[in-house]
Amino acid sequence: MKYYNNLSEGEISKYLGVPVGTVKSRLFRARLFLRNILAEQKEGVGYDEKR
C-alpha cells in the first residue's frame, strides 16, 4: 500500500484500522525480510573460480 499506492503510514493506518506504530513496525519487518532474501540471493551470485 505504501509503495504501490503511495499511501502514507497514517492513511494505511486508517484503512486497516490499526495504530500507526503497527503499520510502521510491519513495514520495517517486511523490508528486513526482503533485505535478507536479497542478501541470500546475492551470496549465490558470482563467477565460478574453476573456469
Q: The cell 504501490 sits on which residue?
A: 4
Specify the 3-state DSSP secondary structure of 48: coil
Residue 20's CB is within 10 A of a number of other CB atoms, namely 14
pLDDT value for 47: 56
Note down pLDDT in tens along the chain; length 51 residues: 999 999 999 999 999 999 999 999 999 999 999 999 999 888 776 655 564
pLDDT value for 44: 72
pLDDT value for 42: 82
pLDDT value for 22: 98
Whole-number Å distance between alpha carbons of 38 and 51 = 26
Count of all residues that appear for the chain in the document: 51
